């Protein structure tokens, strides 16, 4: 994932659900909670730093985020408020709109003459309640949900914090190494005359939309998943297995330097399928050679590739 940030020219990205937040969804082979744990682990490892990029307030009843303010008189709760510029009489501290002082040139509270302009000073903008007559700087604030009509105070709202994550120098260095591996894969596929795309979507036979890391096409369609510079885990193979099982595409899982023991047990216990293959290599140069041979094979399948099964 860090590699994609560099490969696509983005050093900063956001973890957010697109349908809820309207933000950029980063690629991750897992659900949102798994992605959060992954990012937290990257922060602890010193590869990422995060900061709050946005705060979203939601209706406590329906969860809607389309809200409008509702301003009330703090004394009588009336909605009938008038906004204007407030002035204060320095002698008795009466606060009111400018016309209160200039209409009769007499203070409405103490009756003192206001012909001297220095007798009252501007106190800023404010409100007056047309129901009970008081003047005040800040009305009582409530919020109304446009979706369900529920009104509530801000303290009762549901709060969602959106964080943005930026690569540290250490993270950028690691990402550039991973990016180099992806470039080697992409360049090899392009050299074979294939049409290649990154971070796409694959419509499954079940109707579910899957995220694909690398897609390649010639006479056939391929979905390629990578695990570079660390041993791939069983869960990664299982999820890729599920993706290919729900599609008509062929799948190639590239693992450099290989897969861990649990993943190898999963491979050993799976039934063989020609649609899904595992390509292991100890280095990027070996991976390039195996990848070239793989797509040079008439059946796009080599005997030394360990096949992973679909049902």
* CA–CA distances in Å: residue 32 to residues 10, 14, 22, 54, 81: 21, 12, 15, 17, 45
* Residue 202 structural domain: 176-311
Domain edge (last residue) among 138, 162, 184: 138
Q: Where are the beta strands (DSSP E) in the chain?
A: 12-14, 48-58, 67-72, 81-89, 95-97, 120-129, 135-136, 140-145, 151-152, 158-167, 195-203, 209-217, 221-228, 250-256, 276-280, 306-307
pLDDT in tens, the chain (311 residues): 444 444 444 444 444 333 333 333 344 444 566 667 777 877 887 878 888 878 889 999 999 999 999 999 999 999 999 998 888 888 888 888 888 877 788 888 888 887 776 777 888 889 999 999 888 889 999 999 999 999 999 999 999 887 777 778 887 777 777 778 888 888 888 988 888 888 777 888 888 888 788 888 888 888 888 888 778 888 888 888 888 888 888 888 998 888 888 888 887 777 645 678 888 888 888 988 988 888 886 454 433 344 433 33
Judgement on whether residues 123 and 203 belong to the same structural domain of the protein: no
* Count of other CB atoms within 10 angstroms of residue 68: 9
Residue 58 falls inside a structural domain: no
Residue 11 falls inside a structural domain: no
pTM score, whole prediction: 0.49
Judgement on whether residues 188 and 305 belong to the same structural domain of the protein: yes
Q: What is the CATH number of the domain that holds 245?
A: 3.40.1350.10
Judgement on whether residues 194 and 92 belong to the same structural domain of the protein: no
Residue 64 falls inside a structural domain: no
Residue 301 falls inside a structural domain: yes
Q: Among candidates 28, 16, 25, 27, which has minimal Cα distance to 56? A: 16
Residue 245 falls inside a structural domain: yes
């Amino acid at each position: 994932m860090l590699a994609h940030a560099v490969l696509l020219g983005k050093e900063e990205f956001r973890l957010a659900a697109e349908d809820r937040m309207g933000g950029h969804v980063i690629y991750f082979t897992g659900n949102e909670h798994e992605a959060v744990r992954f990012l937290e682990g990257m922060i602890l490892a010193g590869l990422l730093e995060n900061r709050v990029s946005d705060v979203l307030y939601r209706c406590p009843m329906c969860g809607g985020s389309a809200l409008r303010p509702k301003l009330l008189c703090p004394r009588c709760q009336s909605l009938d408020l008038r906004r204007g510029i407030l002035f204060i009489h320095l002698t008795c501290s009466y606060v009111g709109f400018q016309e209160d002082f200039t209409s009769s040139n007499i203070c409405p509270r103490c009756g003192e003459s206001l012909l001297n302009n220095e007798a009252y000073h501007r106190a800023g903008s404010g409100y007056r309640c047309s129901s009970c007559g008081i003047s005040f700087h800040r009305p009582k604030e409530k919020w109304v949900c446009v979706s369900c009509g529920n009104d509530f105070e801000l303290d009762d709202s549901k709060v969602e914090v959106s964080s943005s994550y930026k690569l540290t120098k250490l993270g950028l260095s690691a990402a550039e190494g991973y990016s180099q591996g992806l470039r080697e894969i992409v360049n090899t596929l392009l050299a074979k005359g294939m049409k290649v795309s990154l971070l796409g979507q694959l419509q499954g036979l079940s109707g579910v939309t899957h995220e694909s890391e690398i897609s390649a096409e010639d006479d056939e369609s391929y979905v390629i998943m990578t695990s570079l510079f660390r041993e791939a885990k069983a869960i990664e193979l299982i999820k890729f297995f599920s993706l290919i099982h729900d599609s008509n595409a062929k799948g190639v899982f590239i693992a450099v330097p290989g897969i861990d023991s649990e993943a190898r047990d999963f491979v050993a216990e799976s039934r063989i399928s020609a649609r899904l293959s595992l390509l292991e290599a100890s280095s990027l140069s070996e991976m390039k050679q195996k990848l070239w041979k793989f797509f040079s094979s008439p059946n796009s399948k080599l005997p030394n590739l360990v096949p992973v099964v679909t049902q």
